[in-house]
Amino acid sequence: MKLRTAMRKLIQEDPHNASVYFLIFGFARTYVMLYEDQEVSPQFAEDNQKLMLSYLTILDEALKKGDAANLYQALNRVVNEYENSKKVF
C-alpha cells in the first residue's frame, strides 16, 4: 500500500518519468500477488531482492542523467532483462 501511494505521488509529481514508477510498482505488485500466501525461502527472497535492486539501479542511473534517450534505453534494458529472466515476479 505504501509503495502504491509513493509511486502514484511520483507519477503525479514527475509525469515525464511516469513509466519508470509504473514499472517499479508493477514488479513489486506482481511479486506480492504471487507470493503473499506462500512461504518462500530466505534464499529465494534474497535472490529476488538482488534482481529488483539491479533493475532499480539501472533506472536510477538513467534518471540521474536526466535525458529521455538514456531513460528510454534503461527501460528497454530492464524489460529485456526481465523477459530473459525466470520471471519470478
Reported as a single tens digit per residue, the pLDDT across 57-89 is 999 999 999 999 999 999 999 999 999 998 888
Query: Which tens digit of pLDDT belongs to each residue from 16-49?
Result: 999 999 999 999 999 999 999 999 999 999 999 9
In a domain, 89, yes or no: no
Phi, psi torsion values for 82, nearest 5 degrees: -65, -45
In a domain, 17, yes or no: yes
| Cα angle value 59/62/68 (rounded, 5°) | 115
Q: What residues make up the domain containing 17?
A: 2-83
Residues making up the chain, counted from first to last:
89
In a domain, 88, yes or no: no
In a domain, 30, yes or no: yes
In a domain, 33, yes or no: yes
Residue 55 makes CB contacts below 8 A (sequence gap 6+) with: 24, 27, 78, 81, 82
Cell 530473459 belongs to which residue? Answer: 84
Domains: count for the chain: 1
In a domain, 42, yes or no: yes
